[in-house]
Structure 1
Amino acid sequence: MTATLPAGWKPIESAPKDGTGILGYWNTGALHDCSFGAVKFHRGAWWETNEDYKVSQPTHWMPLPAAPCQTCNGHGMVGGLTPHSGYDAEPCPDCTPPATTQDAPITVSLDPDPRGVSVGVWQGSHCIYNGAHAVPAPAAGDARDAERWRSFRNAITQQDLGWLDRMDTALTALGCDLDDETPPSADQVDAAADAAIAAQQGKGGEA
């Protein structure tokens, strides 16, 4: 039975014969009869890299992988990796690739501008976008709702002690019976709030 080899394995005929260590692979074709190990060709034969034992010729080979980092032993992290050491691990300084521009965090800056607001987009120290944008004015309804909220807040904080009375008068004028179990509609409450605000401003009840 022939095993399917992952990408990267090469026929042994192309392996270096100058004593360079390689990762050898043996596949005899028998089921489960496959193995690999570090070997080199020396004195006309294949040997283990420490030259203790002569081995049969591998069927395939690939370059030996790089040795594990001596600082982190191949973990990629240094520092605490367990509860007892505080989980204060950090990327290994000797094997962690340096951050590239693409890895840098993206930040957005907003600054006042005569045209509205200036928007800057930065990736690390590199500006990738900068432009001025007009700030749309709030819709009339939004401004009106904000004014209603401020009048309600002033009443709750006792800055406008007459607001509740003006609301009661306005709701009654709109035909709302506050003793009735049916509450006023949202539109009626808005209209009453507008009337209460106008009355407080001395506009004779104008909305």
Structure 2
Amino acid sequence: MSTPDYSIEQTIHAQGFRRVVGVDEVGRGPLAGPVTAAAVILDPAHIPEGLNDSKKLTPKKRAAALEALLASAEVSVAHASVEEIDELNILRASHLAMMRAIQGLSTPPDYALIDGNLLPRDLTLPAHAVIKGDALSLSIAAASIAAKIRRDEVMAALAQQFPGYGWEKNAGYPSKQHREALQDLGITPHHRRSFKPVHNILYQQKNLSD
């Protein structure tokens, strides 16, 4: 199993780019909640230990990593709403969240490393897409950690308002509890109406009422 390193960033630094930002998003698959992106510029002299793809870290290690990042790196987190997801589609909404995260940095970066195989079409600075970037680039791995934690916090807060869906555990992903709650409790304002399981329930309800 490969772990991310700083070699991609070093190659870009060698080309004269100083402020290299890693960008990743979390939450493309859930049926509910926003999609969340983070942009992180690491300080090459103070890279925290233990950075990895957020999915490979325990919650405790993720929390420790984010604390270290907030003390040593530039971190910006942003969201795209359920309404934006339904209006734009999930890919474009993910890219919108990425752009907002980049724009939220205190000083603009020189170069962006974007997780995935496509660059946001509104991105104007030099950049390249890195497939499975959170397993290759420490900057992207750092962004995956920040985005994951902040989105989980949003879903835990929404779970207080809408109990029964298990969002504090499943973060809006289609777990058994979440799918059953959709049928039993109905659709909330935080559900993505363009996503098939939610769309199908709305369609059934419309047919029953007609």
Q: The TM-score by the shorter chain falls in which range?
A: under 0.3
TM-score (norm: length of structure 2):
0.18
More helix by share: 2
TM-score (norm: length of structure 1):
0.18
More strand by share: 1
Higher RCO, Cα 8 Å, sep 6+: 2
